[in-house]
Amino acid sequence: MALLLRNQGIRRIRPLQGGLDAWRDKGYPLANVALTQIWS
């Protein structure tokens, strides 16, 4: 997805290495909230 968007001109895009699991494994905080969409 990141590669696709980058090819479509969004240059400042970076995928998170290891995804949510990597974040969780580090013990960083997590939110348990109803997420909203970026343009809603």
Partner 1 sequence: MHSTLEFLLHHGYVVLLAWVFGEQIGLPVPSLPLLLAAGALAGTGHLNFFISLSICVFAAVSADSVWYALGRLKGIKVLQFLCKISLEPDSCVRRTEGVFSKQGARSLLVAKFLPGLSTVAPPLAGIFHMRPRRFLLFDAGGSLLWAGTFLGLGFIFSGQIERIAEHALSLGGWLLVLIVGVLASYIAYKFIARQRFLRELRIGRITAAELKEKIDAGEDLVIVDLRHSLDFEADPETIPGAFRMDAKELQEKNDRLPRDREVILYCT
The residues that touch partner 1, with contacts defined as CB under 8 A, are 1-6, 8, 10, 12-26, 28-33, 35-39
CA pair distance 5, 22, nearest whole angstrom: 23
Instruction: Provide, rounded to whole angstroms, the least separation between the CB of residue 21 and partner 1.
Output: 6
Instruction: Provide, rounded to whole angstroms, the least separation between the CB of residue 18 and partner 1.
Output: 6
Instruction: Provide, rounded to whole angstroms, the least separation between the CB of residue 32 and partner 1.
Output: 5
Listed residue (2, 35, 36, 33) closest to 17, CA to CA: 2
Work out the angle at residue 40's Cα, subtended by the Cα atoms of residues 3 and 24, and round it to the nearest 5 degrees.
Answer: 55
